[in-house]
């Protein structure tokens, strides 16, 4: 009904103080319908606090937020009916079985008995939980618990889902399965707000990424544009057939176009904005010193570089002030 | 316009009650058979009672109002102080608030589960008394009111106690017993209120348990002290105050 106009989520100067600690500092952003919005930041940046404010689990100290056009504080119950959440710390009922966790969740959303039984068995199939459906949740492995938590979050077919570090602590295939689920649901029109430390994940999934540090939003953009902004942090990485002498290291770091040399476990990483220029100088260098290359790679700017650049910038700025 | 508001409100309340009932059902499933709940709610009051009463020269039937009151008191107040801190520790209490469930309804759900537990447990000494120990019901109204309103009131008391600032179930249980033990002696459980000395009768006014006990004495054909009307009104007043206080206390948790 409100699909065409307005945003799925709007935060307006959202701020949270825990006593005197400023955890979230006047953040403002909008998430479009059907978007996967990534919230990227180091530990303690304020990601979880932001989600908790949006869910009205804690009160904002200042500012406001709207979800599907409804105020998150005033219309809290109406908002919650449309929103699903998978929290950072698992909070499924340990004493209830997989099936009962799902049906009880359905009851909390006011679903009738037949409806919630049907939906629960649908999700048990979808999430491949059939053989665990009568086991108590406390007995499930971490990966299974996370799957169950996600299943519980979509029991009521929410239009917006908050995922707080959905893949942290999971093995590669469980994490991928969760990303696939996110993509599938997103294909059906569900909007996602997802926090993560995992750059790769943000890069793969998110249309836009907000970088938050020390409670402040320091960038909101597409992964590509964020990476462009860090173009100077491309890297040429060389591995040679022997360890370099100090004088050779010196020479290598003086190659034209190399802004920084980072030797690391037998690898020599040269930071640059122009990998081709480095390569031009690298071959004569190896020839002169009689070294053979084992491998030479150029690495584009990763989101990680962007992230480190942005968040370290934040630290410096804070240190100066 | 007015009728629209009215129509919109009616289903919202029903919806809330349904969710409260779901929460109560979940609590019954999880907590009724927990050892701590059974020990503090069932074994404890019976043991205490007999520890105090054995060897005293009184008619057995006259013990039963007090025994029922004590079982009711202990069983009903045990459930929430066990389940609420446990669920806070597991963060499962918060899961109730992920859903469109208002805090008053979440609290009501927990109160209902405690109420039903106390109800079931307090019927045990009643039935035993009636069948084997010569108790007989003199005033059905007083008895039913005593059991129902007493349980309801004390379920809310348990709820309020469960909101203390303590992070683990054992700590909350300790607070619970610190509150319960003095109340046990203030409430006419071991000696009917009319037989208490003057100061004992004065103190009894301050304990919600007194009113439940008094109704039970009356119901089982013994002399009461407050009279049905005062007891009922006091139980209702305590219930409302403690319920509202519980909700307000919980509101402050996540500020
Ligand atoms: N309930 C609370 N009381 C006091 N301080 C808190 C509370 N919750 C969070 N904080 C503080 O607020 C800041 C932001 O915390 P938050 O949990 O939002 O960060 P985060 O970005 O989710 O971190 P992480 O990546 O480690 O999950 C931190 O400094 C944290 O210590
Ligand atoms: Mg967090």
Q: What's the pTM value of the predicted model, to 2 decimals? A: 0.84
Which residues, other chains included, contact A281 with Cβ-Cβ below 8 Å and sequence gap of 6+? A255, A256, A257
Same-domain check for residues A32 and A81: yes
Query: What is residue A227's predicted lDDT score, i.e. its pLDDT?
Result: 76
Cβ proximity of A80 and B98 under 8 Å:
yes
Domain of residue B71, residue span: 2-251
Has residue A85 been placed in a domain?
Answer: yes
Measured between CA atoms, how close is A221 to chain B, in angstroms? Answer: 29
Same-domain check for residues A188 and A274: no
Cβ proximity of B117 and B87 under 8 Å:
no
Tell me the C-alpha distance between A97 and A100, whole Å.
Answer: 5
Tell me the C-alpha distance between B47 and B54, whole Å.
Answer: 10
Q: At what angle do helices A172-187 and A142-153 cross, to 10 degrees?
A: 10
Report the DSSP beta bridge partners of residue A296: A238
Report the DSSP beta bridge partners of residue A302: none
Phi, psi of A193 (to 5 degrees): -120, 115
Tell me the C-alpha distance between B78 and B176, whole Å.
Answer: 8
- Is A216's C-beta closer than 6 angstroms to any atom of ligand 1? no
Task: Decide: helix, strand or coil at residue A11.
Answer: strand
B192 vs B148 pLDDT, higher one: B148
Tell me the C-alpha distance between A314 and B12, whole Å.
Answer: 47
Which residues, other chains included, contact B80 with Cβ-Cβ below 8 Å and sequence gap of 6+? B110, B111, B114, B155, B158, B159, B161, B162
Same-domain check for residues A211 and A283: no
Query: What is residue A226's predicted lDDT score, i.e. its pLDDT?
Result: 80
Tell me the C-alpha distance between A106 and A114, whole Å.
Answer: 10
Tell me the C-alpha distance between B45 and A112, whole Å.
Answer: 39
pLDDT for B86-145, tens place per residue?
Answer: 999 889 999 999 999 999 999 999 999 999 999 999 998 899 889 888 888 999 999 999
Has residue A320 been placed in a domain?
Answer: no
- Closest C-alpha residue for ligand 1 atom 25: A43
Same-domain check for residues A78 and A131: yes
Other Cβ atoms closer than 10 A to A144 = 18
* Closest ligand 1 atom to Cα of A41: 21
Has residue A269 been placed in a domain?
Answer: yes
DSSP B132-165: HS----S-HHHHHHHHHHHHHHHHHHHHHHTTSS
- Is A22's C-beta closer than 6 angstroms to any atom of ligand 1? no
User: Tell me, what CATH number does A57's domain have?
Assistant: 3.40.50.300
Has residue A248 been placed in a domain?
Answer: yes
Same-domain check for residues A40 and A99: yes
Same-domain check for residues A146 and A219: yes
Same-domain check for residues A167 and A271: no
B97 chain-A contacts, CB cut-off 8 A: 57
- Closest C-alpha residue for ligand 1 atom 8: A49
Q: Does B250 touch chain A (CB under 8 A)?
A: no
Same-domain check for residues A124 and A165: yes
Has residue A319 been placed in a domain?
Answer: no
Mean pLDDT of B64-86: 92
Other Cβ atoms closer than 10 A to A93 = 21
B255 chain-A contacts, CB cut-off 8 A: 58-59
Report the DSSP beta bridge partners of residue A192: A36, A161
User: Tell me, what CATH number does A265's domain have?
Assistant: 3.30.70.100
Q: Could you give the C-alpha distances from A62 to A57, A104, A204, A274, in angstroms and in order? A: 15, 34, 33, 45
Instruction: Name the DSSP letter for residue A22.
Output: E
- Burial class of residue A43 (count of CB atoms within 10 Å of its CB; 0-12, 13-18, 19+): exposed
Has residue A30 been placed in a domain?
Answer: yes
- Closest C-alpha residue for ligand 1 atom 7: A18
B166: left (phi over 0), alpha (psi -120 to 50) or beta: beta
- Is A46's C-beta closer than 6 angstroms to any atom of ligand 1? yes
pLDDT for A134-160, tens place per residue?
Answer: 999 999 998 899 999 999 999 999 999
Closest among A238, A273, A235, A234 to A252, alpha carbons compared:
A238
Query: What is residue A5's predicted lDDT score, i.e. its pLDDT?
Result: 54
Centre of ligand 1 from the C-alpha of residue B120, in Å? 44
Has residue A80 been placed in a domain?
Answer: yes
Domain of residue A132, residue span: 9-227
Closest among B39, B26, B219, B29 to B121, alpha carbons compared:
B39
Whether the CA torsion A302, A305, A308, A310 is positive or negative: it is: negative
Q: Which contacts qualify for A77-83: CB closer than 8 Å, 24 or more apart?
A: A77/B100, A77/B101, A77/B102, A78/B100, A79/A55, A80/A55, A80/A56, A80/B98, A80/B99, A80/B100, A81/A109, A81/A110, A81/A156, A81/B100, A82/A158, A82/A159, A82/A160, A83/A55, A83/A158, A83/A159, A83/A160, A83/A161, A83/A162
Centre of ligand 2 from the C-alpha of residue A48, in Å? 4
Centre of ligand 2 from the C-alpha of residue B95, in Å? 17
Query: What is residue A316's predicted lDDT score, i.e. its pLDDT?
Result: 42
- Is A88's C-beta closer than 6 angstroms to any atom of ligand 1? yes
Other Cβ atoms closer than 10 A to A8 = 25
What is the maximum span of chain B, computed from C-alpha positions, in angstroms? 69
Cβ proximity of A157 and A83 under 8 Å:
no
Structural domains counted in chain B: 1
Same-domain check for residues A150 and A209: yes
Closest-approaching ligand to the CA atom of A39: 1
Query: What is residue B195's predicted lDDT score, i.e. its pLDDT?
Result: 86
Given A227, A251, A272, the domain boundary residue is: A227
Task: Decide: helix, strand or coil at residue A90.
Answer: coil
Closest-approaching ligand to the CA atom of A196: 1
Out of B23, B91, B98, the one facing A89 most closely (by C-beta) is: B91
Work out the mean pLDDT of chain A and round it to a whole number.
Answer: 88
Work out the mean pLDDT of chain B and round it to a whole number.
Answer: 88
Cβ proximity of B214 and B226 under 8 Å:
yes
> One digit per residue, pLDDT tens: chain A, 321 residues?
444 457 999 999 999 999 999 999 999 999 999 999 999 988 899 999 999 999 999 999 999 999 999 999 999 999 999 999 999 888 999 999 999 999 999 999 999 999 999 999 999 999 999 999 999 999 999 889 999 999 999 999 999 999 999 988 888 888 999 999 999 999 999 999 999 887 788 888 999 999 998 899 988 999 888 877 766 668 888 899 888 888 888 888 888 888 888 888 888 988 888 888 888 888 898 888 888 889 888 887 666 677 777 777 544 443 332
Task: Decide: helix, strand or coil at residue A219.
Answer: strand
Has residue A241 been placed in a domain?
Answer: yes
Structural domains counted in chain A: 2
Centre of ligand 1 from the C-alpha of residue A214, in Å? 10
Q: How far is CA B109 from the centre of its chain?
A: 14
Measured between CA atoms, how close is B97 to chain A, in angstroms? Answer: 7
Given A227, A245, A263, the domain boundary residue is: A227
pLDDT for B188-222, tens place per residue?
Answer: 888 888 888 888 888 889 999 999 999 999 999 89
Closest among A75, A84, A311 to A193, alpha carbons compared:
A84
- Is A301's C-beta closer than 6 angstroms to any atom of ligand 1? no
Same-domain check for residues A22 and A166: yes
B100 chain-A contacts, CB cut-off 8 A: 76-78, 80-81, 108-110
Which letter, b or e, does each residue of A299-314 get, where b requires 16 or more Cβ atoms within 10 Å of its Cβ?
A: eebbbebbbebbbeeb
Same-domain check for residues A53 and A177: yes
Same-domain check for residues A293 and A256: yes
Closest among A173, A217, A203 to A36, alpha carbons compared:
A203
Tell me the C-alpha distance between B251 and B255, whole Å.
Answer: 7
Closest among B220, B159, B154, B234 to B192, alpha carbons compared:
B220
């Amino acid at each position: 009904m409100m699909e065409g106009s307005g945003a799925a989520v709007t935060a307006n100067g959202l701020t949270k103080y825990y006593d005197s600690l400023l955890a979230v500092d006047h953040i403002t952003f909008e998430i479009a319908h059907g978007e996967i919005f990534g919230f990227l930041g180091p530990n303690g940046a304020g990601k979880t606090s932001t989600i908790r404010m949006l869910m009205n689990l804690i009160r904002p100290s200042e500012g406001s937020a709207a979800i599907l056009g409804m105020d998150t504080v005033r219309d809290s119950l109406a908002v919650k009916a449309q929103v699903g959440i998978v929290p950072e710390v698992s909070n499924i009922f340990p004493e209830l079985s997989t099936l009962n966790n799902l049906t009880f969740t359905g009851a909390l959303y006011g679903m009738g008995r037949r409806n919630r039984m049907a939906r629960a068995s649908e999700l048990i199939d979808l999430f491949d939980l059939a053989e665990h459906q009568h086991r108590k949740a406390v007995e499930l492995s971490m990966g299974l618990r996370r799957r169950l938590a996600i299943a519980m979050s979509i029991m009521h077919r929410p239009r917006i889902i908050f995922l707080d570090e959905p893949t942290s602590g999971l093995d590669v295939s469980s994490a991928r399965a969760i990303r696939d689920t996110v993509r599938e649901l997103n294909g059906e029109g569900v909007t996602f707000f997802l926090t993560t430390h995992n750059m790769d994940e943000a890069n793969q999934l998110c249309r836009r990424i907000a970088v938050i540090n020390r409670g402040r939003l320091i960038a909101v953009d597409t992964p590509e544009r964020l990476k462009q902004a860090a173009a100077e942090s491309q890297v040429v990485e060389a591995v040679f057939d022997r360890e370099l002498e100090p004088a050779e290291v010196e020479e290598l770091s003086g190659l034209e176009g190399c802004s920084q040399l980072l030797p690391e476990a037998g690898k020599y990483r040269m930071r640059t904005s122009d990998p081709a220029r480095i390569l031009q100088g690298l071959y004569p260098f190896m020839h002169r010193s009689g070294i053979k290359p084992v491998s030479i790679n150029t690495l584009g700017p990763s989101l990680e570089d962007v992230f480190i650049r942005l968040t370290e910038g934040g630290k410096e700025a804070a240190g100066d002030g | 316009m007015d009728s629209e508001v009215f129509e919109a409100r009616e289903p919202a309340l029903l919806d809330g009650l349904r969710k409260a009932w779901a929460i109560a059902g979940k609590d019954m499933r999880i907590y009724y058979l927990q050892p701590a709940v059974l020990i503090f709610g069932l074994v404890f009051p019976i043991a205490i009672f007999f520890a105090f009463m054995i060897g005293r020269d009184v008619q057995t039937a006259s013990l039963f109002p007090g025994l029922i009151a004590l079982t009711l008191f202990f069983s009903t107040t045990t459930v929430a102080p066990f389940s609420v801190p446990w669920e806070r520790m597991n963060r499962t209490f918060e899961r109730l608030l992920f859903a469109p469930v208002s805090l008053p309804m979440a609290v009501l759900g927990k109160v209902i589960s405690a109420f039903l537990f106390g109800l079931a447990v307090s019927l045990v000494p009643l039935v035993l008394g009636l069948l084997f120990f010569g108790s007989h019901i003199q005033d059905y109204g007083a008895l039913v009111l005593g059991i129902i309103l007493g349980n309801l009131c004390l379920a809310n008391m348990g709820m309020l106690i469960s909101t203390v600032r303590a992070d683990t179930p054992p700590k909350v249980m300790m607070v619970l017993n610190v509150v319960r033990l003095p109340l046990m002696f203030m409430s006419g459980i071991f000696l009917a209120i009319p037989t208490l000395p003057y100061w004992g009768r004065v103190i009894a006014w301050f304990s919600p348990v007194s009113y439940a006990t008094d109704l039970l004495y009356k119901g089982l054909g013994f002399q009461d002290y407050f009279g049905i009307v005062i007891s009922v009104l006091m139980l209702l007043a305590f219930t409302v105050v403690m319920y509202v206080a519980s909700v307000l206390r919980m509101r402050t948790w996540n500020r």
